[in-house]
Amino acid sequence: MDPDSALVRIGVVGGSASMSHALPESSQAWPEILADQIGQPIELIKRQAPLLSIARGTTLIAEIPECDILILHFATSIGWPEIHRRFQRYLVMAPNPQTSFHLPPKLSSLTKKRVSKFFKRSLRALVKYLAFPLGLYKPRNNINDLDDQINTALAVAHSKAPIVIWLQHNALMVNRLFIERRTYLPYYKKVIAILRGLDDPATTLVELPLGFMVEENFLWDGVHLSPLGHQRCAELIRSQLSLTD
């Protein structure tokens, strides 16, 4: 904190789960909601990018100015499978092929042209199941590298702020394929185990509690947060901050 003022500098490094991805224009993401909740002057410094891995996130951490509190928000890119480029044309439903692997195998029953979409969803699921045993639908990150990546990210983070909060995102698995759950969960569990094993009072791990993992907190893809999810995420982080309002 600046000794000559009450201004608190809060840094946020995160992926699209920390951004207002696919939200209504009037909705805010959790960093902005958190800034409003704190109730005292703060400077919010953000470095965000979609599909943010821990390795790439370390680069963003290195770019952020020094701050009082640094919040790191890593989501499914730590270990979600990504389709090989030769299969992308079968999965793309939007202009951006990089996000196609986030598409669930089923959508809302209210979606128009349900029959046509059913066959398209079935084709995507089939392609994923065919590509998986061939090693063409897999995470770009090696699970054995997570320990070094996390330690490096935290070392850089503590050079920027005395207090670091690591918010580890999780995906709602209701609409996900078995191979996606089977692939992602070992990565998630290992990240949690590494962070829980740290003996560092300056680093706080924040997990999404079981009660948070309900459909109303997520968008249809089960990854990105709904407006209510962002609100509750901000409240979750706020509970970890020791600030005098």
Q: Give the domains, in start order, of the chain with CATH numbers.
A: 8-81+141-238 (3.40.50.1110), 82-138 (no CATH)
Strands 8-14 and 69-74: parallel
Please report the pLDDT score of residue 101 as a whole number.
47
Please report the pLDDT score of residue 113 as a whole number.
64
Please report the pLDDT score of residue 202 as a whole number.
94
Q: 47: closest CA among 11, 20, 76?
A: 11
Please report the pLDDT score of residue 91 as a whole number.
60
Between helix 178-196 and helix 114-131 the angle, nearest 10°, is 60
pLDDT one digit per residue (tens) for the chain, 245 residues: 445 556 899 999 999 999 998 898 889 999 999 999 987 889 999 999 998 999 999 999 999 999 999 999 999 989 888 887 776 665 654 434 444 445 555 555 555 566 676 777 788 888 888 888 888 888 988 999 999 999 999 999 999 999 999 999 999 987 788 888 889 999 999 999 999 999 999 999 999 999 999 999 999 889 999 999 999 999 999 998 875 44
Helical H segments across the chain, by residue range: 30-38, 54-63, 88-91, 114-131, 146-158, 178-196, 227-238
Please report the pLDDT score of residue 112 as a whole number.
57
- Half-sphere exposure (Cβ direction) of 176: Cα atoms closer than 13 Å: 22
Give the separation between CA 179 and CA 227, rounded to whole angstroms. Answer: 29
